[in-house]
Amino acid sequence: MTEPPDPRPIRRLDEETVRRIAAGEVVDRPSSVVKELVENAVDAGAAEVRVRLEGGGLDTISVDDDGSGIRPEDLPLAIERYATSKLARPEDLDVVVTLGFRGEALAAIGAVSRLRIISRPPGLGEAHGISLVAGQAAGAFVEARAPGTTVEVRDLFFNTPARRKFLHAPAAEQLEIASAIERLYLARPTVGLTLANEHGEMLRLAPSLTLRDACARVLGPEFLAQSFPLRSGLGGTTSFRGLLARPAISRSNAQGLFLAVNGRTVQSRTLVQAVRQAYTDYLPRGRYPVGVVHLEIEPAAVDVNVHPTKREVRIARERAVADALRRAVRDALVATPHVADRLGTSAEPEPMPPPRELSEMGEPEVVGPEPELGRAPPGVQTRLEPPGAAAVIAATGRHPALRLIGPIFDLYWLAESEGSLVLLDQHAASERVLFEQLRAAGRLARQELVAPVRLELGARRAEVLELHADDVRRAGFEVEAFGAGSYRILAVPSYRGRRVRADQLLGFLDEVADGGRPTVPDGIAERTDASIACHAAIRAGDVVSAEEIQRVVEALYALPEASYACPHGRPILIRFPRGRVDRWFLRSPG
Ligand code: ADP
Ligand code: MG
């Protein structure tokens, strides 16, 4: 490791610079405190940063680094508002090369907590510290420690009860901190980051020299297996680098797409839009690509001073940059064999075990799996053997009979019903049925796997798993820890003989971590149920038999209200009356 640089003197910013700085709240929750403190460590040239939490960060946040330290005489300035070592002249604000530059964070954090800063520049033999309570000086001290800085924040918002009320439960705050650390790491993977709580280490993100290694650590091996590289110079000093997932992996929101501009995590609708546009035709509507994109651009072309938490930046000629990004992603995507091996298929074709007795599992009757002996398990059928003969769904009081003709594109079913041509979306239909059953019965049935499937969840998903253990169980998954981020899936959701692929758990966890399907307007429970239903449903690309679709349509027809939309509002079934079909062929209706 290279030696950290010598500390630079801290100065008060002149009034002109202060006026130009985007004003606003810097810290609103524990994760923003962690973000500011880790950014300070990174700016100080640290190679390793360790974050320790108690009570999800509400009781203690302590950030420890091996960077350049703070000179003892500068300690009082460090906690003063608008005092920074990062801008020497007002013009420097136009060319910011550090993550921080406002001199606000420590003052803002100190004002709402009990703060201690202990720091030893490498040239000094001992560390000097100061402590503050609610912004008031509460002592200075000298300590022994290795070179570097520790900032300790206790009882965050203890003196601002209104703010404290808006915080989530410790487990949820802790999860947000873990996400914040992952984002920081994906933007600057050469700095090692670890996160621990009172129970031990939660995240260890070792310094990595390549984005690929960093992605493997944060996004997991299944992402890596499904990813393609993005590498593109734009002329001048602007360039993109990244790793993006093939369309087989996607999310229902933009949170799986990590953007960094010059090593700073940023949110940018324009850039996210550009990446999404590149995936048009590859992803269904409402789905977002997953991956990491780094944009390197000369610092003078980026204005980092537009948002109080530096979350957004302004990029000169942003349209042109976004256009270039869209083209670069599109080219990389088109060049990649996007019909990737399906995830988890290697673990999949195994004989289907007889389902467990309902009584033994205490499962609700409605969703009990039915024995399906003598039929190949899903996924074993090949495309060369079309599914069995057409099936007929009998008419009900409300619905005319429907004759299934066959599948197209491994997604839609062609059917004929009372003088209409019918197209049915197999995913949407099965999703709706599962959603309704979940609403009615509270959980889905499950089926034990003969050979448990091993899945790497990684630390963050493991946290989500703990936090949402109930939902995971309701969904029908039975999961067992198997050491360091590794888990064994013992049982999966099952629906009338169909077994859900174990790796669907990954997408499900990501979605509940984000609060469930955002497109479902109702409460959190409904959104979670929609996520469960989606991940347990027959998927686009699944090869299913006519009998299976028959059972889905029968269940759909049995629903109390005719619901021809899936839980996120996409249509399930579209009818084309005969007359319309005739017109396509320029026949006058008969
Ligand atoms: P900013 O990062 O915008 O300068 P802060 O309030 O976050 O403002 O920090 C104030 C100053 O304290 C920084 O400019 C830096 O000189 C010093 N400082 C803060 N944290 C560290 C650290 N971990 N290591 C070295 N110096 C630090
Ligand atoms: Mg800072």
**pTM for the model:** 0.67
Residue 165, pLDDT > 60, answer yes
Instruction: Answer whether residue 348 shows pLDDT above 70.
Output: no
Strand, helix or coil at 32? helix
Query: Which ligand has the nearest atom to the CA of 11?
Result: 1
Compare 554 and 283 and report the one with higher pLDDT.
Answer: 554
Neighbours of 319 (CB within 10 A): 10
Report how far apart, in Å, the C-alpha atoms of 21 and of each of 81, 273, 303, 304, 457 are.
12, 28, 11, 10, 41
- Helix/strand/coil (H, E, C) string of 60-120? EEEEEECCCCCCHHHHHHHCCCCEECCCCCHHHHHCCCCCCCCCCHHHHHHHCCEEEEEEE
Give the Å distance between the CA of 100 and the centre of ligand 2: 4
> Which atom of ligand 1 is nearest to 109's Cα?
6
How much is the average pLDDT of 425-450? 88
Q: Which ligand is nearest to the CA of 120?
A: 1
Question: How many angstroms separate the CA atoms of 509 and 45, rounded?
Answer: 35
Question: Distance between CA 470 and CA 465 in Å, rounded?
Answer: 9
pLDDT of 430 higher than 70 = yes
- The answer to whether 41 and 65 are in contact (CB under 8 A) is yes
Does residue 383 have a pLDDT over 60?
Answer: no
State the number of CA atoms in the 13 A half-sphere of 548 facing the CB: 28
If you average pLDDT over residues 250-272, what whole number do you get?
90
**538 neighbors 411 (Cβ within 8 angstroms):** no
Ligand 1 center–CA 99 separation, angstroms? 10
**Distance separating alpha carbons of residues 411 and 397, to the nearest angstrom:** 28
Ligand nearest to the CA of 63: 1
Query: Ligand 1 pocket test: which of 43, 61, 310 has the largest number of ligand atoms within 8 Å of its C-beta?
Result: 43
Average pLDDT, stretch 550-556?
88
The number of the ligand 1 atom at minimal distance from the alpha carbon of 67 is 24
What's residue 563's pLDDT? 55
Please give the distance of CA 259 from its chain centroid, rounded to a whole number. 13
Distance between CA atoms of residues 176 and 369, nearest Å: 37
Work out the pLDDT band at 590, boundaries 50, 70, 90: low
pLDDT at 361 over 60: no
pLDDT above 50 for 385: no
From the CA of 39, give the closest atom in ligand 1. Answer: 2
C-alpha 100 – ligand 1 centre gap (Å): 8
CB burial of residue 360 (10 Å; 0-12, 13-18, 19+) = exposed
- The residue ranking higher by pLDDT, 210 or 163, is 210
Q: What is the pLDDT of residue 546?
A: 84
Q: Are 63 and 34 in contact (CB under 8 A)?
A: yes
pLDDT of residue 441: 86
Range of weakest confidence among 20-24, 29-33, 297-301: 20-24
> What distance in angstroms lies between residue 107's CA and the mean position of ligand 2's atoms?
10
Substitution candidate for ligand 1 out of 40, 64, 120 with most atoms within 8 A of CB? 40
Please, which residues have CB less than 5 A from ligand 2, an ion? 40, 100, 105
- 19 — pLDDT class (breaks 50, 70, 90): low
Mean pLDDT of the chain: 82
Nearest to 253 by CA among 267, 234, 243, 238: 267
Is the pLDDT reported for residue 199 higher than 70? yes
Which residues does ligand 1 sit against, CB inside 6 Å? 10, 36, 40-41, 44, 65, 67-70, 78, 84-86, 100-107, 149
Domain at 211-335, CATH class: alpha beta
SS3 569: coil
Closest Cα partner for 223 from 457, 395, 64, 518? 457
Provide the pLDDT for residue 437.
Answer: 84
What torsion, rounded to 10 degrees, do the Cα atoms 62, 115, 89, 238 define?
30
Minimum mean pLDDT range among 31-45, 200-214, 366-380 = 366-380
More confident residue, 525 or 180: 180
d(CA 323, CA 311): 22
Q: How far is the CA of 405 from the centre of ligand 2 (A)?
A: 64
Residue 168 clears pLDDT 80, i.e. is over it: yes
| Ligand with an atom nearest the CA of residue 152 | 1
Count the helices and strands in the chain (H runs, E runs). Answer: 18, 26
Q: Tell me which residue has tokens 């700095």.
A: 191
The per-residue pLDDT for 386 is: 46
Mean pLDDT of 372-376: 32
Tokens representing 18 are 């202060």
C-beta separation of 441 from 362 below 8 A: no
Q: Give the nearest ligand 1 atom to 106 CA.
A: 6
Q: What is the dihedral of CA 468, 474, 479, 485, to 10 degrees?
A: -20
Give the per-residue pLDDT at 561: 60
Q: Would the pLDDT of 345 be above 50?
A: no
Indicate the top mutation candidate among 63, 84, 116, 150 to test ligand 1's pocket, ranked by most ligand atoms within 8 A of CB: 84
Closest CA relative to residue 347, chosen from 488, 541, 227: 488
Q: What is the pLDDT of residues 58-104, one digit of tens each?
A: 999 999 999 999 999 999 999 998 888 888 787 777 778 788 888 88
Question: Is the pLDDT reported for residue 364 higher than 80?
Answer: no
**Measured distance CA(343)–CA(223) in Å, rounded:** 10
Lowest-pLDDT choice from 335-344, 484-493, 531-540: 335-344
What is the reported pLDDT for 160?
85
Residue 507 confidence (pLDDT) above 50: yes
Structure tokens at 156: 């965050």
Average of pLDDT values for 146-170? 91
Distance between terminal CA atoms of the chain?
A: 82
Q: What is the CATH code for 348-590?
A: 3.30.1540.20
Are the beta carbons of 140 and 70 closer than 8 angstroms?
A: no
User: Which has more confidence, 155 or 311?
Assistant: 155
Quote the ligand 2 centre to 261 CA distance (angstroms): 17
In a 3-state reduction of DSSP, which class is residue 314? strand
Query: pLDDT at position 384, please?
Result: 38
Atom of ligand 1 nearest to the CA of 103: 8
Q: Taking the CA of residue 539 as centre, how many other CA atoms within 13 Å lie in the half-sphere pointing to its CB?
A: 19
Ligand 1 atom, smallest distance to 87 CA: 4
Minimum-distance ligand to the CA of 85? 1
Which of ligand 1's atoms lies nearest the C-alpha of 65? 23
Per-residue pLDDT, 499: 82
What does the DSSP assignment read for 503-538? THHHHHHHHHHTTS-TT--S-HHHHHHHHHHHHHS-
Task: Give the Å distance between the CA of 106 and the centre of ligand 1.
Answer: 7
pLDDT of 589 reads 59
Ligand nearest to the CA of residue 111, numbered in listed order: 1
Output the CA 20–ligand 2 centroid distance in Å: 17
What is the share, in percent, of the chain residues with pLDDT greater than 70?
Answer: 85
Site to substitute for ligand 1 among 64, 74, 85, 93, most atoms within 8 A of C-beta: 85
Name which CATH class applies to 15-205: alpha beta
Beta bridge partners of 265: 260
Cα–Cα distance, 218 to 34 (Å, whole number):
18
Strand, coil or helix: 10: coil
Ligand 1 centre to CA of 10 (Å) is 8
d(CA 100, CA 184): 13
Residues 6+ apart with CB under 8 A from 374: none
How do the domains of the chain map onto residue ranges? 15-205, 211-335, 348-590
List residues bridging with 142 in a β-sheet: 128
- What CA–CA distance (Å, rounded) separates 290 from 254? 8
3-state secondary structure (DSSP) of residue 153: strand
What is the position in ligand 1's atom list of the atom closest to the CA of 83?
Answer: 10
Name the closest ligand to CA 108: 1
Max mean pLDDT among 15-29, 401-415, 485-499 falls in 401-415
In the 8-state DSSP scheme, what is residue 8?
P
Smallest CA separation from ligand 1 atom 13, residue = 84
CA of 19 to the centre of ligand 1 (A): 20
Task: Kindly state the average pLDDT of the residues 514-522.
Answer: 66
In 385-480, which ranges are continuous DSSP H helix? 426-441, 458-467, 469-474
Q: What are phi and psi of 403, to 5 degrees?
A: -110, 115
Integer Cα distance of 526 and 513 in angstroms: 14
Q: Is it the case that residue 436 has pLDDT exceeding 60?
A: yes
Which atom of ligand 1 sits closest to the CA of residue 117?
20
